[in-house]
Amino acid sequence: MKKDSGKDNIVGIHAVRILLKVRPFDIYEIYLSDKNLSKFNEILIETKKNNIKVQKITNDKIYEISNVKSHQGVLAIAKKKDEILERNIIDHLASQPKNKILLILDEVSDPRNFGACLRICDAYAVSAIIIKDHDSVKMNETVRKVAAGSAETTPIIRVKNISRILEILKKNNYWVYGATDKAEHDINEMTFNTPVALVIGGESVGLRQKTLKKCDYTIKISMNGVVESLNMAVATGIIVNTIHSKIK
């Protein structure tokens, strides 16, 4: 089974279950390691409902195809999900409520962090997640597995230049908040203007200087313990939760 550039390999029970609910019409094939296992009951119900054939596959073969060890014995082959084009960002955001957060990831490289951020976006109904097209992790099997279905529910927009996008957002009345440990403002002390664009830096260097210069405000999580910093996805979750609680 060769990788097709027009198709996605999706593994994990939750990821495949949500795929079946959101866009069953895009699924070509579904493979299970054992149809008799109760953990696959909901998947089997949905495949029957949508007249999708289920085939048997070994766990080793799923790993060979997906390169994901924790695949849970399920693999779906589906048409690539449509992403919002860069030129359509403002049209998309115009259809969203003003109190929704827009999340921007500046050069995230870890697929697990990207997947975790997608789960955060789903949990807080974030309007979209913007990610740099180059120097960032691609949407792959690991991202989708960690996202546990939220890769299907969260709009993803890839852009070539983060700084240019921030300028466009500001011209369209967005307030840009950049998260950095060098910020003066603690998130708990801030009053957030809407609509909010939250920018999170990558795992290694954080926000780049040219990105910071485009931010209206810089914010941080004050650390009170012996640990100096948080995992990128954990920090994103805390900040999104705080902003969400203040603007809802």
Are the C-beta atoms of residues 177 and 198 closer than 8 Å to each other?
yes
Q: What are the tens digits of pLDDT across the range 37-77?
A: 999 999 999 999 999 999 999 999 999 999 999 999 999 99
Q: Is 22 exposed, middle or buried (0-12, 13-18, 19+ CB in 10 A)?
A: middle
Structure tokens at 45: 């119900």
Of 66, 78, 67, 65, the residue nearest 7 (C-alpha): 78
Domain boundaries, the chain: 7-79, 86-247
Task: Give me the architecture of the 7-79 domain, per CATH.
Answer: 2-Layer Sandwich (3.30)
**Fold that domain 86-247 belongs to in CATH:** Alpha/beta knot (3.40.1280)
Instruction: Count Cβ atoms below 10 Å from residue 84 Cβ, excluding itself.
Output: 16
Grouping H, G, I as helix, E, B as strand and the rest as coil, residue 223 is: coil
Tens of pLDDT, residues 213-237 = 999 999 999 878 777 678 899 999 9
Tens of pLDDT, residue by residue, the chain (248 residues): 555 668 999 999 999 999 999 999 999 999 999 999 999 999 999 999 999 999 999 999 999 999 999 999 999 999 999 888 889 999 999 998 888 999 999 988 899 999 999 999 999 999 999 998 887 888 899 999 999 999 999 999 999 999 999 999 999 999 999 999 888 889 999 999 999 999 998 777 778 889 999 999 999 998 787 776 788 999 999 999 999 999 97
* pTM score of the predicted model: 0.90
Q: Is residue 246 exposed (0-12), middle (13-18) or buried (19+ Cβ within 10 Å)?
A: middle
d(CA 168, CA 97): 18
| Chain centroid to CA 234 | 13
Q: Are 11 and 141 in contact (CB under 8 A)?
A: yes
